[in-house]
Amino acid sequence: RKEVEQDPGPFNVPEGATVAFNCTYSNSASQSFFWYRQDCRKEPKLLMSVYSSGNEDGRFTAQLNRASQYISLLIRDSKLSDSATYLCVVNLKAAGNKLTFGGGTRVLVKP
């Protein structure tokens, strides 16, 4: 079983619609969680950290469910520029702050 699993997609989303997807992680000792966005042939860029109480940043909402070991990302009012691969990333501080990346979920927003 992979340490961090994501639905690879692609999620084809009409412009203006809402899309949500999850990520599961296997190590219950994981301590920090992030969503990164990666555009084609570019480096990952931090979209948002994920906090236990859930957090929102504009049109993006992230949730963490420690009991079920998953995190989610919801994008409201999708823009064409939201088309990207979204990487679920988990930090295991006890392992020297190594980040473990999920395989990514590809989102395609279409007009």
Q: How many residues bind another protein (CB under 8 A)?
A: 21
Residue 77 C-beta: closest distance to another protein, Å: 26
DSSP letters for 31-86: -EEEEEEE-TTS--EEEEEE-TT-EEETTEEEEEETTTTEEEEEE-S--GGG-EEE
Per-residue x/- mask for another protein, residues 12 to 51, rule CB under 8 A?
A: --------------------x-x------xxxxxx--x--
Chain contacts with another protein (rule: CB under 8 A):
32, 34, 41-46, 49, 87, 91, 93, 96-104
